[in-house]
Amino acid sequence: MMRVPGHFPDRPESKCMRKRMLQLLAGCALLVVAGCAGTGGERAAAPAKDAAAKEQAPADKPLVDLETRPKGMLNATLKTVVDTPLDGRIDLLSLEGGATRSVEVKKGSLSSPVPQGDYRAYVHVYDNGVPVLVQVQDLAVKAGQTAALSLNLLEGASGAVSVRAFDSDGDLAIDRVELESGTDPYNAASVPGRAELPLDKHVLRAEGQWYRGDLHVHSKYGVGTESVSEVISRAEKAGLDFLAICDRNTLASTRDPGFKSDKLALIPAMEWGRDDMGVALVYGPRTTPDPPSTLPTAQAAWAAQAECIRVQAQGGIWAIAHPTFPTKPWQWGISYVNAVEVWFRDWRGNPPLALNDLGEDIKVRKDGHLVHSIAAAASAAATAGTMDEDMSANAQACLFWDYELKRGLMGCAIAGSGSGGKKVPLAKPVTYICARDLSAPALLEGLRLGRTYISCDLNGPRLAFNADVMKDNTVDVGIGGVVPLNVDISFVAGVQNAIGKKLQVLENGRPIRTVPINADDVAIRFTRHPTIYSSYRIRVIGTADPKKNGFGSIEVYALSSPIYAQDITQELLWRNPNLDLKKTWVKLQTKEAPVDVDVSQSAPPAKIPGQ
């Protein structure tokens, strides 16, 4: 996604603080590129093709036990109109209320026993590993008999374009099937066989500013001990602006009668994944993501990638949760996520991941080097020194994030308390999101555009980070923005409420400047001349208290998402079709000639304390 210009002031407090924070937090955005696009969902109950999802049915209504029934055979043939066999997956939805089952089709053919009954078959073919829905067909399986299913796929048969090219809205269902099923091929939330979930668009506050909240808490529907209303009440009393309840593989909290607030923006969310493969945080899905696959690793990873794509196409967010925690290391291998939870609970409170905690397929090497960032982060922690002294799981998560940033990921940093009850305080750590207003859609947009920073708690340091490209003392780019290569960039980094600590600037994960903080609010200016793709971020650090148990010798009190440096080309326009060229400051380079762009809509000037 490209980021568009806009000025978002700080959250209002006292007059004096407001003035100071306006100086520090003046620039929050201009032009930015974010991660990817995608959705997910549970199959709708029969017989209507777009009936309510089964997860929305009463919990006390049992599924029909199909496994006790006598079986028939399902023979399936998947090929193109030019007889090219296709690999695929068929999801069989019982029209009688039984559980959905999935069967894999290899080299174009399948013969599998299936309990007798009436089914709706959702036929997917793999496009570079990603399952794409290409046919919906009802069929009856009778005991001792054979039911046939055949596909002769026209879309993509020539090989000149992919099957996904026939999916206009990115929900991984081709347009023909959507039209046949009565869903909207231009609305990613409208998917054959999946119930569309609501998203509350109510605006609680109209101001554009930094809002603070907790993006990872649990209720009784997961590992928490509190009801949904109790969790929300606790967040309201704590003074949060937003909250995301993330219970494992369920959106049940969003359907609870207590899921409402006139003080908090509630982001529909879930924790998605398996302990052995790692966990994602999914925010704002418009259909229920399919549960994590139990198929072999490669197929499971592609199914996970499909859920990521579909969620993002719907305007939702897919984030990696605590990727380096030894009990749940990230091993899905998904590309183009929106965010990484680099800070979970206490910064120094958890041990790092060891290389032996990962599967053999994740430890693969090429030319002697580990291929996967998660393995490289585990290896780096092990070789940095004694593992129980030199790095915590959160520090290691930042290392993993930095490796991915170097590889081109434009995903922001988020944090979560993991609170599931009163014993674990909310918003410790706390995520700040710069948003145009306080509403779920605006917060999702802020995450997608990378406008975040993290602080240790509600009383922790406040950050500001922006860049002046035009050398006119004007904020051109804020956190999450993009600056061009091969020009001098003047950066301004500011911090408030961090006396006695140190402000550190990192370029591609490496510290390039560390400055003592000797006032309640300070700002530093520094210039860089990036010539290659780079990321710049800031953090507040201090020496760890030797009397406090923990991992690592450095305590982190706050950190920001990056500002990116990269070539800004015409190709970036596809990421944001609504980009107003008259409101950007860059020159978009085309193959023919540079496109001069009006700079009259730049953000207000940055002011540095003491100048």
Confidence grade of residue 6 (pLDDT, cut at 50, 70, 90): very low
| Greater model confidence, 367 or 299 | 367
What the chain holds in terms of domains, given with CATH numbers, is 65-181 (2.60.40.1120), 209-459 (3.20.20.140)
Identity (one letter) of the amino acid at 402?
Answer: D
| Greater model confidence, 183 or 42 | 183
Residue 73 predicted with pLDDT over 90: yes
Task: Please write the tens of the pLDDT for every residue from 323-377.
Answer: 999 999 999 988 889 999 999 999 999 999 999 999 999 999 999 999 999 999 9
Give me the percent of the chain exceeding a pLDDT of 90. Answer: 75
Question: How far apart, in whole angstroms, are the C-alpha atoms of residue 188 and residue 171?
Answer: 5
| CA quadruple 457, 559, 269, 242: dihedral, nearest 10 | 50
Sheet containing 269-274: which strands, arranged edge to edge?
269-274, 278-283, 317-321, 339-344, 412-416
pLDDT at 609: 30
Identity (one letter) of the amino acid at 436?
Answer: R
CB neighbour burial string for 425-446, b if at least 16 within 10 angstroms, e if fewer: ebbbbbbbbbbbbbbbbbbbbb
Confidence grade of residue 573 (pLDDT, cut at 50, 70, 90): low
Residue 389 predicted with pLDDT over 80: no
Judged by DSSP in three states, 361 sits in: helix
pLDDT at 212: 98
CB 104 within 8 A of CB 76: no
- 15 Cβ neighbours under 8 A, 6+ residues apart: none
**351: cis peptide before it, omega within 30°?**
no
pLDDT at 295: 80
The pTM assigned to this predicted structure is 0.86
Q: Rg for the chain (alpha carbons), in Å?
A: 25
CB neighbour burial string for 27-62, b if at least 16 within 10 angstroms, e if fewer: bbbbbbbbbbbbbbbbbbbbeebbeebbbbeeeeee
Going by C-alpha positions, the residue among 291, 278, 286 that lies closest to residue 250 is: 291
**185: cis peptide before it, omega within 30°?**
no
Residue 585 predicted with pLDDT over 50: no
pLDDT at 298: 83
Going by C-alpha positions, the residue among 361, 317, 323, 357 that lies closest to residue 338 is: 317
Residue 594 predicted with pLDDT over 50: no
Question: How far apart, in whole angstroms, are the C-alpha atoms of residue 352 and residue 326?
Answer: 7
Task: Please write the tens of the pLDDT for every residue from 460-489.
Answer: 999 999 999 988 888 889 999 999 999 999
Confidence grade of residue 275 (pLDDT, cut at 50, 70, 90): very high
Average pLDDT over residues 407-423: 96
pLDDT at 569: 67
